[in-house]
Copies of this chain bind each other. A is one copy, B any other.
Amino acid sequence: MCPAPVPENTQRGFIIPIGGGEDRERERQIHRRFVDMSGGAQADIIVIPTASQLDETGPDYHRIFSDLGAGKVEYLPIARRADCDNPQFAEMLDRATGIFMTGGNQLRLSTIIGGTLVAQKIRRRNAAGIPVAGTSAGASIMSEHMVAGGPSNSSPAEGNISLAPGMGLTNAVIIDQHFTQRNRLGRLLTASSYNPFLIGLGVDEDTAAFIGPDNVFEVVGSGTVTVVDASQLTHSSMWDASAGEALSLLGLRIDVLGQGCRYDLTARQAYPPDEHAHFCSLPVSGD
Protein backbone atom coordinates (compact mmCIF):
# COMPACT_ATOMS: atom_id res chain seq x y z
CA MET A 1 0.00 0.00 0.00
CA CYS A 2 1.36 3.39 -0.97
CA PRO A 3 1.48 6.20 1.58
CA ALA A 4 -1.73 8.22 1.89
CA PRO A 5 -1.60 11.44 -0.15
CA VAL A 6 -0.35 14.46 1.76
CA PRO A 7 -2.91 17.29 1.74
CA GLU A 8 -1.95 20.49 -0.04
CA ASN A 9 0.15 22.94 2.01
CA THR A 10 0.86 20.21 4.55
CA GLN A 11 3.90 18.17 5.48
CA ARG A 12 3.74 14.49 6.29
CA GLY A 13 4.36 13.76 9.99
CA PHE A 14 7.47 12.08 11.27
CA ILE A 15 7.65 8.28 10.94
CA ILE A 16 9.60 6.83 13.85
CA PRO A 17 10.58 3.15 13.75
CA ILE A 18 12.20 1.99 17.01
CA GLY A 19 14.16 -1.26 17.18
CA GLY A 20 12.47 -2.56 20.34
CA GLY A 21 13.93 -2.85 23.81
CA GLU A 22 14.09 0.91 24.26
CA ASP A 23 15.02 2.45 27.58
CA ARG A 24 11.73 3.00 29.46
CA GLU A 25 13.11 3.82 32.88
CA ARG A 26 16.07 6.18 32.73
CA GLU A 27 16.65 8.89 30.13
CA ARG A 28 13.94 7.62 27.80
CA GLN A 29 15.28 9.94 25.13
CA ILE A 30 13.35 8.28 22.29
CA HIS A 31 10.01 8.48 24.10
CA ARG A 32 10.85 11.99 25.28
CA ARG A 33 11.46 13.21 21.75
CA PHE A 34 8.25 11.58 20.59
CA VAL A 35 6.26 13.30 23.37
CA ASP A 36 7.86 16.68 22.60
CA MET A 37 7.15 16.23 18.91
CA SER A 38 3.53 15.36 19.72
CA GLY A 39 3.06 18.63 21.55
CA GLY A 40 4.32 18.00 25.09
CA ALA A 41 1.80 19.41 27.58
CA GLN A 42 -0.62 19.89 24.67
CA ALA A 43 -0.08 16.37 23.33
CA ASP A 44 -2.98 13.96 22.79
CA ILE A 45 -1.27 10.62 22.28
CA ILE A 46 -3.06 7.46 21.20
CA VAL A 47 -1.33 4.13 21.88
CA ILE A 48 -2.18 1.05 19.76
CA PRO A 49 -1.18 -1.94 21.93
CA THR A 50 -2.70 -4.51 19.58
CA ALA A 51 0.55 -6.27 18.59
CA SER A 52 0.96 -7.30 22.22
CA GLN A 53 -1.24 -9.79 24.02
CA LEU A 54 -0.27 -8.46 27.43
CA ASP A 55 -2.90 -6.48 29.33
CA GLU A 56 -0.28 -4.19 30.88
CA THR A 57 1.15 -2.90 27.57
CA GLY A 58 -1.35 -0.05 27.16
CA PRO A 59 -1.16 1.08 30.81
CA ASP A 60 2.66 0.88 30.71
CA TYR A 61 2.89 3.36 27.86
CA HIS A 62 0.24 5.53 29.50
CA ARG A 63 2.56 5.81 32.49
CA ILE A 64 5.71 6.45 30.43
CA PHE A 65 4.26 9.17 28.22
CA SER A 66 2.43 10.82 31.14
CA ASP A 67 5.65 10.84 33.19
CA LEU A 68 7.34 12.60 30.29
CA GLY A 69 4.80 15.38 30.35
CA ALA A 70 2.29 14.41 27.70
CA GLY A 71 -0.95 16.30 28.26
CA LYS A 72 -3.22 13.37 27.42
CA VAL A 73 -2.53 9.68 26.73
CA GLU A 74 -5.07 7.00 25.85
CA TYR A 75 -4.82 3.50 24.44
CA LEU A 76 -7.23 1.68 22.17
CA PRO A 77 -8.18 -1.80 23.43
CA ILE A 78 -8.32 -3.37 19.98
CA ALA A 79 -8.17 -7.16 20.16
CA ARG A 80 -10.17 -8.14 17.07
CA ARG A 81 -11.06 -6.66 13.69
CA ALA A 82 -14.56 -5.73 14.80
CA ASP A 83 -13.09 -3.41 17.44
CA CYS A 84 -11.62 -1.31 14.64
CA ASP A 85 -15.09 -0.17 13.51
CA ASN A 86 -15.72 1.62 16.82
CA PRO A 87 -16.56 5.21 15.79
CA GLN A 88 -15.21 6.48 19.11
CA PHE A 89 -11.75 5.17 18.21
CA ALA A 90 -11.94 6.97 14.87
CA GLU A 91 -12.80 10.23 16.65
CA MET A 92 -9.92 9.76 19.08
CA LEU A 93 -7.50 9.22 16.21
CA ASP A 94 -8.91 12.25 14.39
CA ARG A 95 -7.90 14.53 17.25
CA ALA A 96 -4.61 12.73 18.11
CA THR A 97 -1.37 14.69 17.95
CA GLY A 98 0.81 11.56 18.13
CA ILE A 99 0.24 7.83 17.58
CA PHE A 100 2.36 5.01 19.05
CA MET A 101 2.22 1.33 18.05
CA THR A 102 3.68 -1.09 20.59
CA GLY A 103 5.74 -4.23 20.14
CA GLY A 104 4.42 -7.78 20.03
CA ASN A 105 3.72 -9.65 16.81
CA GLN A 106 3.52 -7.64 13.60
CA LEU A 107 1.34 -10.25 11.89
CA ARG A 108 -1.12 -10.01 14.75
CA LEU A 109 -1.13 -6.25 14.27
CA SER A 110 -1.49 -6.40 10.47
CA THR A 111 -4.15 -9.10 10.48
CA ILE A 112 -6.26 -7.24 13.06
CA ILE A 113 -6.01 -3.64 11.87
CA GLY A 114 -5.05 -4.03 8.18
CA GLY A 115 -7.68 -2.49 5.89
CA THR A 116 -9.82 -1.19 8.78
CA LEU A 117 -10.95 2.30 9.67
CA VAL A 118 -8.24 2.43 12.35
CA ALA A 119 -5.47 1.73 9.81
CA GLN A 120 -6.96 4.27 7.43
CA LYS A 121 -7.04 6.90 10.18
CA ILE A 122 -3.41 6.25 11.17
CA ARG A 123 -2.32 6.60 7.54
CA ARG A 124 -4.30 9.79 7.00
CA ARG A 125 -3.26 11.39 10.26
CA ASN A 126 0.40 10.77 9.44
CA ALA A 127 -0.09 12.27 5.97
CA ALA A 128 -1.73 15.26 7.67
CA GLY A 129 1.36 15.91 9.77
CA ILE A 130 1.01 13.82 12.94
CA PRO A 131 4.03 11.79 14.10
CA VAL A 132 3.59 8.02 14.18
CA ALA A 133 6.07 5.94 16.18
CA GLY A 134 6.26 2.17 16.51
CA THR A 135 8.56 -0.17 18.36
CA SER A 136 9.58 -3.67 17.32
CA ALA A 137 6.45 -5.12 15.64
CA GLY A 138 5.09 -1.58 15.55
CA ALA A 139 8.17 -0.53 13.55
CA SER A 140 8.01 -3.42 11.11
CA ILE A 141 4.44 -2.71 10.07
CA MET A 142 5.16 0.88 9.04
CA SER A 143 6.57 0.18 5.60
CA GLU A 144 4.75 -0.87 2.43
CA HIS A 145 6.58 -4.20 2.49
CA MET A 146 6.72 -5.62 6.01
CA VAL A 147 9.23 -8.11 7.35
CA ALA A 148 6.91 -10.74 8.84
CA GLY A 149 9.59 -13.22 9.86
CA GLY A 150 12.59 -15.25 8.81
CA PRO A 151 15.56 -16.86 10.49
CA SER A 152 18.13 -14.79 12.35
CA ASN A 153 21.81 -15.81 12.10
CA SER A 154 21.58 -16.66 8.40
CA SER A 155 23.48 -15.69 5.30
CA PRO A 156 21.41 -13.94 2.66
CA ALA A 157 19.41 -16.61 0.84
CA GLU A 158 16.25 -16.72 -1.20
CA GLY A 159 13.38 -17.58 1.10
CA ASN A 160 15.11 -16.61 4.35
CA ILE A 161 12.70 -13.73 4.84
CA SER A 162 8.91 -13.63 4.87
CA LEU A 163 7.41 -10.44 3.51
CA ALA A 164 3.81 -9.35 3.97
CA PRO A 165 1.96 -6.18 3.10
CA GLY A 166 2.50 -3.52 5.76
CA MET A 167 0.72 -0.30 6.65
CA GLY A 168 2.50 1.71 3.97
CA LEU A 169 3.33 4.87 5.89
CA THR A 170 6.47 4.85 3.75
CA ASN A 171 7.52 2.94 0.67
CA ALA A 172 11.10 4.17 0.63
CA VAL A 173 12.37 1.60 3.11
CA ILE A 174 11.89 -1.86 4.52
CA ILE A 175 12.38 -2.01 8.27
CA ASP A 176 13.88 -4.71 10.45
CA GLN A 177 14.25 -4.42 14.24
CA HIS A 178 16.21 -5.95 17.15
CA PHE A 179 18.75 -5.79 14.35
CA THR A 180 22.24 -6.34 15.73
CA GLN A 181 20.93 -8.17 18.78
CA ARG A 182 19.27 -10.86 16.65
CA ASN A 183 21.77 -10.89 13.76
CA ARG A 184 19.31 -9.99 11.04
CA LEU A 185 21.67 -8.58 8.41
CA GLY A 186 21.34 -11.73 6.28
CA ARG A 187 17.61 -11.45 5.95
CA LEU A 188 17.67 -7.69 5.41
CA LEU A 189 20.23 -8.12 2.62
CA THR A 190 17.85 -10.65 1.08
CA ALA A 191 14.96 -8.19 1.30
CA SER A 192 16.95 -5.31 -0.20
CA SER A 193 18.27 -7.50 -2.96
CA TYR A 194 14.86 -8.84 -3.98
CA ASN A 195 14.33 -5.43 -5.48
CA PRO A 196 17.18 -2.97 -4.98
CA PHE A 197 14.94 0.10 -5.07
CA LEU A 198 14.12 -0.63 -1.43
CA ILE A 199 16.51 0.73 1.17
CA GLY A 200 16.89 -1.64 4.12
CA LEU A 201 16.82 -0.11 7.60
CA GLY A 202 18.12 -2.36 10.36
CA VAL A 203 17.20 -0.68 13.65
CA ASP A 204 18.95 -1.78 16.84
CA GLU A 205 17.31 -2.07 20.22
CA ASP A 206 16.96 1.21 22.14
CA THR A 207 17.47 3.07 18.87
CA ALA A 208 15.12 4.94 16.53
CA ALA A 209 15.16 6.53 13.10
CA PHE A 210 13.19 9.78 13.13
CA ILE A 211 12.18 10.01 9.46
CA GLY A 212 11.18 13.57 8.61
CA PRO A 213 8.76 14.78 5.94
CA ASP A 214 11.73 15.38 3.63
CA ASN A 215 12.70 11.69 3.94
CA VAL A 216 15.85 12.54 5.88
CA PHE A 217 16.12 10.62 9.11
CA GLU A 218 18.14 11.21 12.25
CA VAL A 219 19.26 8.50 14.65
CA VAL A 220 18.41 8.70 18.34
CA GLY A 221 19.42 6.05 20.88
CA SER A 222 22.22 3.94 22.23
CA GLY A 223 22.64 1.59 19.25
CA THR A 224 22.86 2.04 15.50
CA VAL A 225 20.70 2.06 12.41
CA THR A 226 22.28 0.07 9.59
CA VAL A 227 21.33 1.25 6.10
CA VAL A 228 21.58 -1.30 3.30
CA ASP A 229 21.67 0.27 -0.16
CA ALA A 230 21.63 -2.37 -2.87
CA SER A 231 21.06 0.07 -5.72
CA GLN A 232 24.66 -0.21 -6.88
CA LEU A 233 24.66 -4.02 -6.99
CA THR A 234 26.93 -5.26 -9.73
CA HIS A 235 25.96 -8.90 -9.39
CA SER A 236 23.30 -10.90 -7.60
CA SER A 237 22.75 -14.63 -7.79
CA MET A 238 19.22 -14.22 -6.44
CA TRP A 239 17.26 -15.18 -9.52
CA ASP A 240 19.01 -18.45 -10.23
CA ALA A 241 19.93 -19.62 -6.72
CA SER A 242 18.41 -22.81 -5.41
CA ALA A 243 16.28 -22.60 -2.27
CA GLY A 244 18.51 -22.14 0.77
CA GLU A 245 21.69 -21.66 -1.31
CA ALA A 246 23.99 -18.91 -0.04
CA LEU A 247 23.72 -15.85 -2.29
CA SER A 248 26.41 -13.73 -3.85
CA LEU A 249 25.68 -10.00 -3.63
CA LEU A 250 28.46 -7.79 -4.97
CA GLY A 251 28.57 -4.04 -4.58
CA LEU A 252 26.48 -3.39 -1.48
CA ARG A 253 26.84 -0.11 0.33
CA ILE A 254 26.36 -0.10 4.10
CA ASP A 255 26.22 2.84 6.45
CA VAL A 256 26.17 2.27 10.19
CA LEU A 257 24.64 5.34 11.83
CA GLY A 258 24.97 6.12 15.51
CA GLN A 259 23.31 8.83 17.56
CA GLY A 260 22.93 12.10 15.68
CA CYS A 261 23.84 10.80 12.22
CA ARG A 262 21.44 11.58 9.38
CA TYR A 263 20.56 9.78 6.16
CA ASP A 264 18.82 11.21 3.14
CA LEU A 265 16.62 8.41 1.77
CA THR A 266 16.09 10.23 -1.53
CA ALA A 267 19.75 10.96 -2.25
CA ARG A 268 20.90 7.73 -0.53
CA GLN A 269 23.53 9.71 1.31
CA ALA A 270 24.69 9.49 4.95
CA TYR A 271 25.85 12.43 7.04
CA PRO A 272 27.77 12.58 10.32
CA PRO A 273 26.30 14.51 13.26
CA ASP A 274 26.43 18.29 12.75
CA GLU A 275 26.14 17.99 9.00
CA HIS A 276 22.99 18.28 6.93
CA ALA A 277 20.89 19.92 9.63
CA HIS A 278 17.70 20.93 7.88
CA PHE A 279 14.32 22.54 8.20
CA CYS A 280 12.57 19.59 9.73
CA SER A 281 15.27 18.66 12.20
CA LEU A 282 14.10 17.43 15.55
CA PRO A 283 12.85 19.84 18.17
CA VAL A 284 15.25 20.23 21.06
CA SER A 285 14.12 18.29 24.09
CA GLY A 286 12.72 20.38 26.96
CA ASP A 287 15.39 19.48 29.48
In whole angstroms, how far apart are the Cα atoms of A278 and B46 in the complex? 63
Which of B153, B155, B253, B259 touches A224 (beta carbons < 8 Å)? B155
The reply on A199 being an interface residue by CB < 8 A is no
Q: What residues of chain B lie closer than 8 Å to A237, measured between beta carbons?
A: 258, 272
A155-B256 contact, Cβ under 8 Å, with A235-B270, A251-B270, A272-B237? yes
Q: How many copies does the complex hold?
A: 2
| Shortest beta-carbon distance from A126 to chain B in Å | 28
The reply on A252 being an interface residue by CB < 8 A is yes
Interface residues of A in 256-271 (CB under 8 A from B): 256-261, 270-271
The reply on A223 being an interface residue by CB < 8 A is yes
A204-B270 contact, Cβ under 8 Å, with A223-B155, A255-B251? no
Q: Is the CB of B154 within 8 A of A180?
A: yes
In whole angstroms, how far apart are the Cα atoms of A182 and B152 in the complex? 10
In whole angstroms, how far apart are the Cα atoms of A261 and B207 in the complex? 35
A sample of 18 more A-B contacts (CB under 8 A), given A155-B256, A183-B183, is: A153-B183, A154-B180, A155-B204, A180-B186, A185-B185, A189-B256, A207-B246, A222-B245, A222-B246, A223-B246, A234-B272, A235-B270, A235-B271, A246-B259, A248-B258, A250-B255, A250-B271, A254-B254
